[in-house]
Structure 1
Amino acid sequence: MRTLLTGGAVFVKDRPDLLGGGDVLVDGTKIAAVGRLTDEPADKVIDTTGCLVLPGLVNTHQHDWYIYGKGLGGSMLLEQWITDCLFPLKSSLTVDDLRLASEVSSLDMLRGGTTTAVNHQVNETTAADEDAILRPAAETGIRQFFGKVIRPKDILDDYLSARACHETWDGQAGGRVRVGFVLEATAHWVHMGTSSEEMIVGGHKLAVEKDTFVSSHIAGGTLSRDSGYLKFVLETGRTDPQFLHRIGVLDDRWILAHTIYPRDNDMDLIAAAGSTVAHTPSSEAARGGGITPVKTMLSNGIRVAIGTDGPMVDLTNDMIEQLKWTRLMQNQVHLDADSIPLEHLIAMGTAEGARAVRAENLFGTLEVGKAADIAVFDLMTLHAGPVHNPLSTFVHAARGRDAKHVMVEGDLLIEDGRFTRVDDLYITELLRQAGDRGRALARRAGLAE
């Protein structure tokens, strides 16, 4: 089937003229042509006038089951939130909780124009857990890059489990499901016994063998001498990036989530390794974590992508919010109204995310031959219009709910703002179940009231 998206502002690197109006032709699962197209035969024509057409957003750091913790944790700083909120909830999850959360989170992200997400696990998963997470996600049509946890406690069993997960799921759903590994390396996790040098080296070796990504929380939390990241830096005499560099594993496979507090030569090490920082600005602000020096990182040659972290932290999966927060916070820190150029900022939410999961040749830009992962955002709204600069309007005034059409591999999953695979009654029932499960989970974890 050939689908023509016509008349919208089209975001293509090095083609600013297309922001004045352009077209994208999709043939089957691939992008067949981009530009100002005339007389192109198409089975379906979608008028995108008044809209911004861009690659589907790529969320490089997300925890799907966090939907159940929205609003819990109150005013806790990160370190207390981890021990008093996250861990009790994590230990009380059921397989059915994971199944429902996966579907709701995937639909939520698709509705906001996110076509790819890295689901970074903080909990150990069995084969049954992985089926509960990945099967419903695949059925929604989203791309999921699943981060399988490896832990040091039963390390040999975890290596076998990680290998089995990769062999079972990597490449499923026509390649929309991919599997990488979570190797927690930040000082907090080492202190809690959930990381070790042996585990990281062995897990990284497996990632190299499978040619996949590695995700890890790095240099985050508060900069407290009593319980925060600084405490562990002073005790160990090294930073998280220095640790990874010293044991010989820091390379371009790593997605370094947060990285709020790079110190000493950290930025040089990250840049030289080609690792990607996954920046989650509203999450970091919600827990009093600080402001990641994104502008300085970019100036230092570090690749930075964008993530949402999960709604238990900041109550949102909206990637546009993250783009806006990223730019405004860097503007404020640097007293610069153009701290991150809009074109690069949007690339951080698209192309850089694709590169982080080692899929830059597959999606992330609107190029002929790439997968038709496309999001069309309506800018003709009361809260966004009138439009002078579509990129500025998108970043500063649009919302995730403005996604009008969303495609993954040419499959139109959102059309005119509505799901094509499920109806409103189905969504309402999902949300009712999610509410019931969230409250029951909070009670089991001792966090209700």
Structure 2
Amino acid sequence: MLVKVEAVADIYVRGGWIITMDPQRRVIKDGAVAVEGGVITAVGKRDNLDPQYKSYSDVVIDARDGVVIPGLVNTHVHLAQGLLKACADYKRLIPWLKDRVWPLQGNYKPEEALVSAKLVVAEMLKSGVTTFLETGLVGRYGVDAIIEFLHDSGIRAAVARHVMDLKGYALEENILHEGLVEPGDTSFNDTIRLYHKYHGWDSRIWIWFGPRTPGAVSVELYKKMSEKARELKTGITMHLAEVREDVDYTVEVFGKKPVEFAHWVGLTGPNVVLVHVVWVTDDEIDLLAKTKTSVSHNPSSNLKLASGGARVSEMLRRGVNVTLGTDGGPSNNDYDLIREMKVAALLQPLLTGDPEAIRAEQVLEMATINGARALMIDHLVGSIEVGKRADLVVVDFHKPHLKPLNNPVSHLVYSAMGSDVKHVIVDGRLVVFDRQILTFDEEEVLRKADEAAFNLYQRAGVCREPDLKWSIF
């Protein structure tokens, strides 16, 4: 049953462990967090805070068998790919796009794209994501309806609108599905329209530019976007150097390596999140650090598509703000950022041959405070500190795979799953309680998802039957 919940004035979370992610990186055993009017007002030992808050709060959450963390920040999400899980397995990136993903996305009707967005948000909220960065919506999806749903769902979102004026990918020209093609003026101007309509809405919705990958955008349009983003004080996100073909394109056509190319057209800086960034050199990593450009690391997607492994431990060592993203349904097959933390933690030792290449603490930073910094909202969220907005997640650790609890950070990264999330608070509002979404009807979304996916697959002529070597009877 759907339970309608309005903003709650006072919430008191009586924790077991509180992992604050504050500047001192305090981890508080037997801790508690008090929230008033959407703002964190106290963080400390449970015994010290109980007398003031336990009997005087509107909602008291007993989390003594849990771990309380800041809301997770997913810095690379494709809302329109929620219905495409298992539709593009066993392929490399360009045929994956050309033969499967783009034909499906190019056949969406707005009502199907909205169902896809709802499905993705349901999965993210129930796995502890309170803030995310959408990489690029197009007009055929019905962007306004999606943004309005995001606001009503209670989640925070930076929503990038795709901008393009070419039809290629890297050195392959005219391969973008016709259903996704939009003129440069149309896509650029619609981003500006969305910005003036929604940007800053309740400090939970922001509108970004989402240029397509090099090969689909002219140099002039890249520069126009970067200038406008700086003028509007908003962000830009773009896939870069995901596969070797990306390097081939920028070097052959422009004589520049991918990060050099991005810098040349204005796509570096504190308001830019570059996604994947796998095939880069030491000099390019230094350029990312120097310009304070953030990187979204998506290890499951890179592994599944055999794209390669990003040099995250080296980026962190050189001072790059590295964040964590799940990517989309057909490249990851889930939107669970907690599971993604484990993949990120395991990949760097494999790539470097060094078991100390990355620590669990660094991975948790990537999924929280680093992500907030990349979205330019670390003054609001990303840590549990007095004065910040109350984005909190309670993870239930009273489970066999999370016992004995002797290191909550290690367990979060290496042992936990999104399904261990029990309660989620965004902006002081309880949006998930005891694993039930309180802001929209999850059951209705699940029912509509199957129907919408079936209709989409039939219309696109893709994913009509499972890609399964075994027989179905």
Task: Find the aligned partners of 2:382 and 2:278 in 1 and give their Cα distance.
Answer: 25
Once residues 81 and 17 of structure 1 are traced to their aligned partners in structure 2, the CA distance between those partners, rounded to angstroms, is 43
- Match in the other structure for 1:195: 217
* Candidates 450, 459, 463, aligned match of 1:435: 450
CA RMSD of the aligned region, Å? 1.7
How does the TM-score come out when normalised to structure 2? 0.88
Specify the SS of the correspondent of 2:52: coil
Residue number in structure 2 paired with 1:403:
421
Structure 1 residues 294-305: aligned runs within 5 Å: 294-305=312-323
Change (3 A) 1:14 1:207: closer
Q: 1:306 aligned to 324, 327, 334, which one?
A: 324
Partner of 1:91: 106
Q: C-alpha displacement at 1:341, in angstroms?
A: 2.4
Equivalent position SS for 1:40: helix
TM-score by length of 1: 0.92
Q: Which residue of 1 aligns with 2:333?
A: 315
2:233 to 189, 195, 211: 211
Post-superposition offset of 1:234? 4.7
Aligned residue number for residue 163 of structure 1: 192
Whether 1:239 and 2:257 are equivalent positions in the alignment is yes
Question: Which residue of structure 1 lines up, in the alignment, with residue 4 of structure 2?
Answer: none
Query: Equivalent residue for 1:270?
Result: 288
The aligned counterpart of 1:32 is 41
How far apart are the structure 2 equivalents of 1:396 and 1:374? 20
Residues 248 and 421 of structure 1, relative CA distance in 2, 3 Å threshold: closer
1:179 matched to 2:202? The reply is no
Amino acid at match of 2:258: D
Determine if contact 1:96/1:132 at 8 Å carries over to the other structure.
no
Distance, in Å, in 2 between the alignment partners of 1:393 and 1:248 is 40
Residue 152 of structure 1 corresponds to which residue in structure 2?
Answer: 165
Distance in structure 2 (CA, Å) of the matches to 1:64 and 1:246: 30
1:371, 1:410 within 8 Å by CA — same for their partners in 2? yes
Q: Which of 369, 387, 393 pairs up with 1:351?
A: 369
Find the aligned partners of 1:340 and 1:40 in 2 and give their Cα distance: 40
In structure 1, give the amino acid aligned to 2:219.
E
2:402 is paired with a residue whose SS is: coil
Distance 2:394 2:408 in 1: 12
Is residue 18–residue 35 contact of structure 1 (8 Å, CA) maintained in 2? Answer: no
Q: Point out the more displaced range, 234-243 or 383-392.
A: 234-243
User: Contact 1:378–1:403 at 8 Å: present in 2 too?
Assistant: yes
**Contact (CA 8 Å) 1:70, 1:312: kept in 2 or not?**
yes
The 1:95/1:334 distance shift into structure 2, 3 A limit, reads same
Report if the CA contact (8 A) 2:154-2:439 is conserved: no
Counterpart of 1:71, as a letter, is A
SS of residue in 2 equivalent to 1:393: helix
Write the distance in 2 (CA, Å) between the matches of 1:377 and 1:335: 32
Q: Corresponding residue for 1:7?
A: 15
The more displaced of 98-107 and 52-61 is 98-107
- Deviation sequence 1:39-93 (CA, Å, 0-9, x none): 2233132111121111100000000121111101121111110111121112101
The secondary structure found in structure 1 opposite 2:69 is strand
- Return the offset for 1:239: 1.7
Separation (CA, whole Å) in 2 of partners of 1:28 and 1:79:
48
Deviates more, 1:347-356 or 1:96-105: 96-105
Cα distance between partner residues in 2 of 1:336 and 1:53: 30
Deviations 1:339-383 (A, max 9, x none): 222222211101111111111111111111110001110111122
Shift of 1:16: 6.2
1:143 aligned to 156, 177, 182, which one? 156
**C-alpha separation in 2, matches of 1:17 and 1:167:** 39
Counterpart CA distance in 2 for 1:17 and 1:54 is 11
Task: Tell me how far apart the structure 2 counterparts of residues 201 and 15 of structure 1 sit (CA, whole Å).
Answer: 39
Is the 8 Å Cα contact of residues 31 and 368 (structure 1) preserved in structure 2? yes
SS, match of residue 178 in structure 1: strand
Moved segments of 4+, more than 6 Å: none
Shift of 1:152: 2.2
Match of 1:324 among 342, 349, 366: 342
